[in-house]
Structure 1
Amino acid sequence: MNDTPMPAGPIDAKKRIILLDGLRGFALLGILFANMTEFIGWPYMTPEQDAAVTVGWPDTVTEFFFEMFVHGKFYALFSLLFGIGFALQLKRIQERGEGTGRYARRLGFLMMFGLLHIILLWIGDILLLYSVMGFALLALRGLSNRALIFGAILCWLIPIGWEVYKVEAGFNVFAALMPIATPWMQQLGFTQQDYMGVGFWVFPDYWTHLKSSVIELYLRFVVYADQMRFTKVLGMFLIGLWVGRKGIHADPVAYGPLLRKVATWGLVIGLPFALLRALIMTGLWAPDMAELPILNTVAYVFSAPFLALAYASIAALAWNAGKQAFFETFSPIGRMALTNYILQSVIAITIFFGWGFGMILKVPLVAIIPITAAIFIAQVWWSKWWLARYRFGPLEWLWRSLTYGKAQPMRLAAMSAPQTA
């Protein structure tokens, strides 16, 4: 580890992987912070529950900070990195003269992981959506670089148009789609009220959760449709594919001027809209206007993608300035992103959900800072320990083995250079 500025010219494959995996690890930290607000049940607390656990202004400051700098931004950053990873995979496929069948299988097994994540653990999954939109990205791989940019812009604008339509037409996605699930609920002995708020998360019976998970899987897609997450994710995928094609990750020094522009404009555009969204989401600004959902969506569209691009650009500029220690610290957890993402759910659910220690609705929001930090530090340590002995994380190994149709070498002795799934 050193602070020596990077020389001009492309960086070698090993350092390039450290750069991307370090960013991926950083994104996982932000995602854990965002998910932790859900795990503790904060958005679903009644006024009485909130009054019982809140510690006052520290919770208010934490909520505002998270809404402004965390929520949505790190999912967008993770989506950007997915697109870059797709570009690298596509390049390898083309160099080998292969078809895209193996990558399609890779996406199919990612979909399997996402389904199992929702069914066995909790509804707050991103893997299923990533796999579905990954197939869309695969279909769009032939777009020109200019078309990728225009496609991304269109993907970001669609949620605004969708929100305008919902408000003007008085269309409620949940009211329209929830009745479809009602017969399933009745057969299982549940009602719509069971799925409101923290729902089955507070129940001590894991079997009840498993029975309800089919409905929760459906509800996940209802949420995707309501918020138009499909195009939000695809837009960042397209930008990531563009970045990967241009090779910005491979030679960040050469692209220094572009990175500085993206960082600057990402902050100039993103921060004011992030401030607006934070004011709306925290209720600090709550005007009585029918168009507020539209304004909230506009604030999201012009904050999350732009700040994610700013975060990535600032990180790359830090790399150029010789701050490789940051990336080397976060790289191990990034190399095991799938394993650590699922592990974060397992740990948090064990602590908070009813079939674990049942701490949901019992801790103030500010408490997630030390809790998240402790979990993440443990994951960084464990990931470093694991990768000193094995080629891949446990789930990365399984994913790769399923994709290739045979068990892959696991011991580090069989490896000649670091790899990422």
Structure 2
Amino acid sequence: MATASSDRIVSLDLIRGIAVMGIFSVNIVAFAMIQAAYLSPPAYGGWHGADGLVWALNMLLVDGKFRTLFSMLFGASMLLVIERAERSGQNGWTVHWRRMAVLLAIGAAHATLIWHGDILTLYATTGFVAYFFRRMPVQRLAGLGLSLSLFNLLLFGAIAATLVHQDLAAHGPHPDAETLRNWNANAGSFFPTAKAIAQDKAIYGGSWLAIVAHEASSVAQIITNNLVLLPDTLGLMLLGMAGYKSGFLTGEWSDDRYRRVAAWGIALGLAGFGALVAADFATRFYVPLVLGGFMAAMVPFRLVMAFGYAALIVLLFRRPSALRARFAAVGRAAFTNYIGTSLVTTPIFYGWGLGLYGKLGRAEAWLLVPLVWALMLLWSKPWLDRFTYGPLEWLWRSLARGKLQPMRRKPDAPAAAAA
């Protein structure tokens, strides 16, 4: 599914665009309220009524699946850039490390100056490692990617088992002080105390400088989180490379194969995540289940569902259409759209803006999501009809190449963009 005139692979743009939109559907909670509420609705805002419904639908249909797609597309696109650089006579490693270094710097600025939930630093760090696997054949890429996902399952499964052990020890006869302290510290990550909630609201309800100072003091935690998540993210990038090399992500498979992947992947994913949603509600969001269920037990289900979504997207947009062009444009400007969600949302919630942080329920905050989706769809295509890159894509490319890149599209180029 490539356009010869523009040398772009439309399926990659489409999947990337829909993935960045899906990610915002769950990230809105991290913008609007305390971090613990992301996985555990009882931590803040509650889990009944509309708030519970929004959480359940996001967990069932969105959470984890679109981040998986976005990570896979990063690996596929990274491989595409390296291959094109090498075909043009450039050094693939030089081109790659410059891109990752610039991305790391922009991600660090995003995490410190704008929003703590940045994922770009993780992608850049993992991207440095992923480069060395680029020449592997499809089967080995897929095997290693799945092995890293299995490692992630075992890692977080062990953490969840440790939490169960701590829970039993803390609520058993005669627990010692250290046992109680360990359990309360870990449980507090999902059910924070009133004091912890007040402190969090005071930070993000404060001035921009105060928030920046707080984020700057959390650099060590960001690095730790990235190291913990690196194996899983690397595995997803390698699966993306395999998807690119095999033709799956580039739209080269037959419709029958895509239908089978879409039907089985989405059905199995819905079954797994449906069971998790039911279990979370039934146990009133038992801490080990909340963590272990999402981060460990759902690993295979999120993978098959992400592949199912990718297959469905390819099938739905086989033929050119105005809607396909809109979604593909969102994907071509995915970097700008991702950072753009922070630029649009933090002034609404943080104290230096409207100060709505912690004041809206989950369902109320989610009402912003369709508006931001509409904004992505409205601006991306008209911009790319006139310019070669999205604003931040242009900045990334210019910094990585060490010189300003031509921005305005040539007079004969809009037809290629429309394709």
Shared fold (TM-score, shorter chain, > 0.5):
yes
Aligned to 2:182: none
Pair 1:384 & 2:376 matched: no
CA contact 1:269–1:302 (8 Å) conserved in 2: no
- In structure 2, relative to structure 1, the CA distance for the partners of 1:43 and 1:251 (3 Å cut) is closer
Pair 1:40 & 2:40 matched: no
1:349 Cα deviation from its structure 2 partner: 0.3
1:368 Cα deviation from its structure 2 partner: 3.3
Query: Residue deviations 1:89-119, cap 9 Å, x none?
Result: 1321232233221111011101111100101
Aligned to 2:244: 244
Residue of structure 2 aligned with 1:138, choices 113, 128, 131 = 131
1:13 Cα deviation from its structure 2 partner: 5.8
1:415 Cα deviation from its structure 2 partner: 7.3
1:124 Cα deviation from its structure 2 partner: 0.3
- In structure 2, relative to structure 1, the CA distance for the partners of 1:300 and 1:201 (3 Å cut) is farther
Residue of structure 2 aligned with 1:165, choices 131, 151, 158 = 158
Aligned to 1:394: 391
- In structure 2, relative to structure 1, the CA distance for the partners of 1:336 and 1:48 (3 Å cut) is closer
Q: Could you tell me how far apart the structure 2 residues matched to 1:194 and 1:25 are?
A: 36
1:288 Cα deviation from its structure 2 partner: 6.8
Q: Could you tell me how far apart the structure 2 residues matched to 1:359 and 1:393 are?
A: 30
- In structure 2, relative to structure 1, the CA distance for the partners of 1:257 and 1:239 (3 Å cut) is farther
Residue of structure 2 aligned with 1:403, choices 381, 400, 418 = 400
Residue aligned with 2:115, SS: coil
Overall identity of the aligned pairs, in %:
26
State which drifts further: 72-81 or 160-169.
160-169
1:330 Cα deviation from its structure 2 partner: 1.2
Aligned to 1:285: 283
State which drifts further: 349-358 or 93-102.
93-102
Amino acid at match of 1:20: L
CA contact 2:100–2:128 (8 Å) conserved in 1: yes
State which drifts further: 395-404 or 364-373.
364-373
Aligned to 1:76: 68
**Structure 2 residues without counterparts, runs of 5 or longer:** 167-177, 179-194
Query: Residue deviations 1:198-243, cap 9 Å, x none?
Result: 4565332211112122232322233345xx4212211221111112
Pair 1:203 & 2:195 matched: no
Aligned to 1:336: 333
Q: Could you tell me how far apart the structure 1 residues matched to 2:244 and 2:293 are?
A: 33
Q: Could you tell me how far apart the structure 2 residues matched to 1:289 and 1:212 are?
A: 27
- In structure 2, relative to structure 1, the CA distance for the partners of 1:203 and 1:87 (3 Å cut) is same
Aligned length: 384
Residue aligned with 1:302, SS: helix
Aligned to 1:353: 350
Q: Which structure 2 residues correspond to residues 7-406 of structure 1 after superposition, within 5 A? A: 12=4, 14=6, 16-41=8-33, 44=36, 50=45, 56-100=48-92, 101-167=94-160, 198=200, 201-225=203-227, 228-252=228-252, 254-281=253-280, 283-286=281-284, 293-320=291-318, 322=319, 324-406=321-403
Q: Could you tell me how far apart the structure 2 residues matched to 1:297 and 1:269 are?
A: 17
State which drifts further: 210-219 or 57-66.
210-219
Q: Could you tell me how far apart the structure 2 residues matched to 1:278 and 1:350 are?
A: 32
- In structure 2, relative to structure 1, the CA distance for the partners of 1:11 and 1:415 (3 Å cut) is closer
Higher relative contact order (CA 8 A, sep 6+): 1
Q: Could you tell me how far apart the structure 1 residues matched to 2:45 and 2:147 are?
A: 39
Residue aligned with 2:9, SS: helix
Amino acid at match of 1:58: A
Q: Could you tell me how far apart the structure 2 residues matched to 1:147 and 1:49 are?
A: 43
1:195 Cα deviation from its structure 2 partner: 9.4
- In structure 2, relative to structure 1, the CA distance for the partners of 1:49 and 1:237 (3 Å cut) is closer
1:23 Cα deviation from its structure 2 partner: 2.0
1:296 Cα deviation from its structure 2 partner: 4.1
Q: Could you tell me how far apart the structure 2 residues matched to 1:210 and 1:161 are?
A: 35
Q: Could you tell me how far apart the structure 2 residues matched to 1:63 and 1:293 are?
A: 15
CA RMSD of aligned residues (A): 3.1
1:331 Cα deviation from its structure 2 partner: 1.9
Q: Could you tell me how far apart the structure 1 residues matched to 2:335 and 2:2 are?
A: 28
State which drifts further: 260-269 or 302-311.
260-269
CA contact 2:348–2:354 (8 Å) conserved in 1: yes
TM-score with structure 2 setting the length? 0.82
